[in-house]
Amino acid sequence: MIDSGIFERISEFIAPLTPRGHAILFLSASLLAAGLLSGSNAAPKLLAAGAALFLLIVVEREIFLARAAALSRVKVRWAIEHPLVEGRRVTVKIILENPGLIPIEHLEVYDTPPRLFRWDKSTPPRAVVVLPALGVTEVSYSVIPVVGKHEWVGPLRLIVEDLFGFFRAERLIEAELPIVNVQPRTLDIPGRRSALPTVLQPGGVTRLRRRGIGTEFMELREYSPDDDIRLVDWKASARTGRLMVKVFEQESVLRVAIVLDALTTMFRGVLGETKIEYAARLVASLSEYLARRGDTFRIYLVDPQGTVYASPWLHGRASGSAARRFVAEKLAWPQADEATQPPQARAEAIASVLLRTLPRGKTIVFLISDFGEEEETVVIYAYALARLQALRHEVYAVSPLTTLFE
């Protein structure tokens, strides 16, 4: 009876063999068999050739096993440029560190970046490198990211082969894959005058008039004792015979809430021109504009499942970058099988959060949504948000439109 351990040892020996290795092993066995069965003078040569091939495979296997063991100890980390901005090319570096004394002369590296990222064909996410003993090697490639939170698809594949390609081992790295937050880019808001009102009155929107140094000249009036002497217009005073001062139009501080309603329909379309990308750019641009003005604002982001994320109230010059980071951290692209929350429940959830978190006093609310591309949904949202208007908040709905392709 044949010992089963023999077959296990044979199976263990041929497990890492490549098709080329199997072919060479078969050729070696064939030469040995031909030499044993042949009675001619060529038998010694056939035996010698078969034994030489078999010895070569055995030696290469031992060397390969040492390299495969070294591969299992290789340390991997990613180095990605920050901050990431949509549409801006970024370099991804995979740093491979070999802590052992055995070099790896042929190491294949295959990375899998997020599915929505485009990578440069001239620098694809794969390479063949040499990893020296106690050394470090880098693999670099470029990608063009998309706004939002993204995780590497994985796994990272590391493949090592021997010199002749007889043996091949693969290591899959699925843990500690990088997660990146890609910020939306900002767009320039044209025009010198404010894109937003400064004072809201029951009869409409007006601008606030204040004495003092403002942003735009409004009119001249006669001097009063509490006026700043620096505001005196000496030419007008000489012309009229009375002291005249300049009155400027000065902007007051606004309180603004920006709601980004990320319905699944917002993610449809051509990548780079989807509604969600335009909406994120609008949020970033409006936030940067409010930051430059010195206004106070807050970002609300509603994901497809109806979860509402709210940033803290932002104010100051650095608040624009804080708003972009918030959108990048909370905006995640949905999977194909994810469903959107029903419109009625979604509208009620948004209105409830705003009613609970908006302070007393008038706040300008921008709701950015395509309303599921349904007219009935617009009516549902209007009824739900009417409670905000009852509390004297100003609500504006912004529906992004994209270019249609036939």
Residue 361 identity (one-letter amino acid): G
In the numeric block, the tokens 């007219």 are attached to 375
Q: Are strands 90-97 and 136-144 parallel, antiparallel or unpaired?
A: antiparallel
| pLDDT recorded at residue 229 | 82
Q: In the structure encoding, which two tokens stand for residue 48, read together?
A: 């010698």
In the numeric block, the tokens 């910020």 are attached to 183
Within 10 Å of residue 175's Cβ, how many Cβ atoms?
A: 8
User: Is a pLDDT exceeding 70 seen at residue 206?
Assistant: no
**Partner residues linked to 181 by β-bridges:** 149
132: preceding bond cis by omega (within 30 degrees): no
Instruction: Kindly state the average pLDDT of the residues 365-386.
Output: 86
Largest CA distance in the chain: 134
| pLDDT recorded at residue 276 | 92
pLDDT, tens digit, 9 for 90 and up, residues 119-151: 877 788 999 999 999 999 999 999 999 999 999
| pLDDT recorded at residue 386 | 87
**Partner residues linked to 96 by β-bridges:** 76, 137
Q: How far apart are the first and last CA of the chain?
A: 73
> How far, CA to CA in Å, does 78 sit from each of 70, 91, 141, 170, 178?
20, 11, 11, 19, 7
155: preceding bond cis by omega (within 30 degrees): yes
pLDDT, tens digit, 9 for 90 and up, residues 390-405: 888 889 989 888 765 4
User: Is a pLDDT exceeding 80 seen at residue 200?
Assistant: no
Write phi, then psi, for 170 (nearest 5 degrees). Answer: -130, 135
Tell me how many degrees the CA angle 132-133-139 measures, rounded to the nearest 5.
Answer: 35
pLDDT, tens digit, 9 for 90 and up, residues 162-180: 888 888 889 999 888 999 9
What radius of gyration, in Å, describes the C-alpha atoms of the chain? Answer: 35
- Distance between CA 201 and CA 206 in Å, rounded? 7
Sheet containing 255-261: order of strands = 308-310, 296-302, 255-261, 364-368, 394-398
pLDDT, tens digit, 9 for 90 and up, residues 347-370: 888 989 998 998 888 899 999 998
Write phi, then psi, for 274 (nearest 5 degrees). Answer: -75, 165
